[in-house]
Amino acid sequence: MTSGSVQWLGQNANLRWTLERHTSFGAMDLSFGGGDGVTTRTEQGSGAKLFSLAALPSGALVTAGTDATNAVNSDAQVTRMRGGVDAGTAGTISGTLFKDSDQDFRRDLGEVGVEGQSVFLDTDDDGVYDPGEPLTTAGADGRYAFTGLVPRAYTLRTRLSGTWHQTSPPDAGAHHWTLLAGRGLGGADFGLVQRPKITLSSFEDLNANGAYDPGEPPLGGQIVWMDKDNDGFLDPDEPQQVFDAQGRATFQVTPGTYRFRQGVPTGFFQTTPTPGTALVVTEGGEDVSVVGFGNVSRNSVGRIDGNVWVDANGNGTRELGESGGDATVYLDANGNGVLDAGERSVATEPGGFYAFPLTPPGTYTVRMVTSRGQELTAPAGGSYVVQIAGNDIVRGRNFGYRWRTNRVIGRHVFYNNSVYDGGSAAADGGDDRAVAPDKQALVPGQSASVVNVTNYGRGINGVMIDVDYVPPGAVVDDFAFTVRRGTTGDPANWELLPMWDTNLVHVNVRRGAGDGGSDRITLTFADGAVKNTWLRVTAKDHGALALPTPDVFYFGNLVGDTGDGDSVFRVNALDLGRAKQELNRTSTLAGRFDFNRDGRVNALDLGIIKANLNQTLSQVAAPASAAPGSHMFSAMAVDLSAPEPTIRKPWDEPQSDLF
């Protein structure tokens, strides 16, 4: 050593010494080893404050600073000289950092290790990490270890980052362990939990738009609390804060989902959030800042309200017995007569009432959204222009509408569960690809022909009715189904088969999917339920569809008939011969010889004909009007908004019209 006051003591080949010297210039680690014999070396200098000796193994190299060949040349460098232990006396301390999910200060089954957080040896036991103190980072399983330690007492503490906090030892405590020579100590575990901060804010919503806008001032002084039971009341065990002058309040939590409410300041309305609860999620453990609560002065906002009703007689005046209507009312900010994104709107309550509270001063155009099939009868101009000044309340802005006369636009038969709808038995949009282009419904006053009869091997398993509109939220019990078996051609004598159950018929409504943008009602039947027979569908003239008269139509099915004549429906050798001529050819949706509708004519189709040889279907002439008793069977009540409706058996409850 070239400067400083250092004493180096060496004893024998088995021992090495360390000299720790503290100065006012900082700290530096040095390691140096002895040799044979006893030697003493003393160098004079100034600034020495403390000397301490500890046993060291032999054979270590002398190091000074960062370069083992450099000599120590100033008091600023010479501060602490320390060495390790040989293999015979080296010790280990290890443990695990774990996620103390239930914060019970111990590791339970299922509590996982925490990766990436650090543990250090607090050599001066001051409770904080100092540069130079040994530090290690936990691996993927949360485990850590210090190896090659000199036998002595050690203090272990965590050095955490992010939102991690220590639960055990409690109160950010430490492990104080004494390590004996050649021993290993395990189980120096630390429990951790993430405690992110949720910072909520409160502001004065000057324009009452339910969103924070630049320049809107903070609003403080009111209580905000964590509504753990979501009951809208501050309970004794629920954490609470008071918004400060900057409109902020902070809660420290564990990762999860939390609901917060505020005590609305006196003289204000809350504009956001609605209905009043701020929902905050901290699943990832990150700190979260939320623009939480907007409030507007009661003296600076007004209100617009009114009623919507069904104007049954269309005279524009609400009369006794006319019911409230379901509709959406909106403030048409750009005056284009269409509800656009961002424009304020509200749905009517049961009974037809609507309201726009918290409406800032200004001029507003109030309109109602009309659904397909609705005609607005009031107000005469279709809208109201309302002026709000201060806290004005404007009432009686009422809207009347009626349903225009409905009509059936299209009637179709399709090959459900075929290659053309993707082999799906469900009633969905894929069925449109399976509509038979060469078939049409038989309607009253017509005689049956080949265009009314399908030859699908599964029978009639899907029909569609396109109507001008199906009222929103309608429940349908408006279809009567009659399936005929027998020889008579008089529909009045057709019998209802005892097959009607929840596995037989399903109904689906797709709005706007029908002809000309009409609403499409799809009926699917179980495969084989309507086979080699006629099907009659009656849409009633009362109920949800509001048709002026019953709509009746027919489709027939004769499996294997290739359509050799309009007057006689029979499967015979001619059909078989024609099919053989088409064998091994591809087919189209309108193909006459692809009876299983798999897109090709093959041996399967020949087998279908042979199984149905000599089968006949009676000629039928549709009556000019619905036959008596056509309403004898109300098949179902189905929520048209549901993709998979629930179908009730007719004998389970009395028949009734729900509209």
For the stretch 211-234, pLDDT in tens is 999 999 999 999 999 999 999 999
Distance, in Å, from the CA atom of 531 to the CA atom of 468, rounded to the nearest integer, reads 30
Q: What average pLDDT score do residues 52-79 get? A: 33
Higher-confidence residue: 279 or 593? 593
Distance, in Å, from the CA atom of 242 to the CA atom of 233, rounded to the nearest integer, reads 16
- Residue-level pLDDT at 88: 60
CATH class held by domain 301-403: mainly beta
- Residue-level pLDDT at 651: 28
- Residue-level pLDDT at 508: 87
> What are the structural domain ranges in the chain?
1-84, 91-194, 197-299, 301-403, 408-561+618-639
Tell me: pLDDT of 631 over 90: no
Cross-strand bridge partners of residue 538: 480, 552
Tell me: pLDDT of 4 over 50: no
Q: What are the Cα distances from residue 279, in Å, to 228, 257, 272, 287?
A: 11, 7, 12, 15
Please say whether the structural domain 91-194 has been given the CATH code 3.40.50.1820.
Answer: no
Phi and psi for 527 in degrees, rounded to 5? -55, 130
DSSP string for 529-549: SS-SSEEEEEE-SSSTT--SS
* 3-state SS, residue 607: helix
**Closest C-alpha to 378, from 386, 370, 389:** 370
Cis amide leading into 273 (omega within 30): yes
Higher-confidence residue: 35 or 508? 508
Distance, in Å, from the CA atom of 557 to the CA atom of 535, rounded to the nearest integer, reads 8
Note the pLDDT tens digit of each residue in 584-622: 999 999 999 999 999 999 999 999 999 999 999 988 877
Same fold, 91-194 and 197-299: yes
Q: How confident is the model at residue 566 (pLDDT cuts 50, 70, 90)?
A: low
Q: What average pLDDT score do residues 243-256 get? A: 92
Note the pLDDT tens digit of each residue in 34-62: 333 333 333 333 333 223 333 333 333 33
Distance, in Å, from the CA atom of 170 to the CA atom of 104, rounded to the nearest integer, reads 10
What does CATH list as the number for 197-299? 2.60.40.10
Cis amide leading into 623 (omega within 30): no
According to the 3-state scheme, what is the secondary structure of 470-483?
Answer: CCCCCEECCEEEEE
- Residue-level pLDDT at 112: 93
Q: How confident is the model at residue 409 (pLDDT cuts 50, 70, 90)?
A: very high
Predicted TM-score (pTM) of the model is 0.53
Note the pLDDT tens digit of each residue in 445-454: 888 899 999 9
Token representation of residue 468: 């001008």
Tell me: pLDDT of 63 over 60: no
Tell me: pLDDT of 366 over 90: yes
Distance, in Å, from the CA atom of 206 to the CA atom of 294, rounded to the nearest integer, reads 9
- Residue-level pLDDT at 41: 34
**Closest C-alpha to 431, from 422, 439, 440:** 422
Characterize the bridge pairing of strands 91-99 and 475-476: unpaired
- Residue-level pLDDT at 187: 92
Distance, in Å, from the CA atom of 509 to the CA atom of 496, rounded to the nearest integer, reads 25
Higher-confidence residue: 539 or 331? 331
**Closest C-alpha to 193, from 154, 150, 233, 162:** 162
Query: Are the C-beta atoms of residues 1 and 63 closer than 8 Å to each other?
Result: no
Report for 179-188, 254-263, 434-443, 484-493: range of highest mean pLDDT: 434-443
Which of 183-197, 532-546, 552-566 has the weakest average pLDDT? 532-546
Distance, in Å, from the CA atom of 413 to the CA atom of 435, rounded to the nearest integer, reads 6
Which of 8-12, 297-301, 387-391, 556-560 has the weakest average pLDDT? 8-12
At residue 335's C-alpha, the angle toward residues 332 and 340, to 5°, is: 50
Q: What average pLDDT score do residues 466-482 get? A: 70
Higher-confidence residue: 282 or 553? 553
% of residues, the chain, pLDDT over 70: 76
Mean pLDDT over each residue of the chain, to the nearest integer: 80
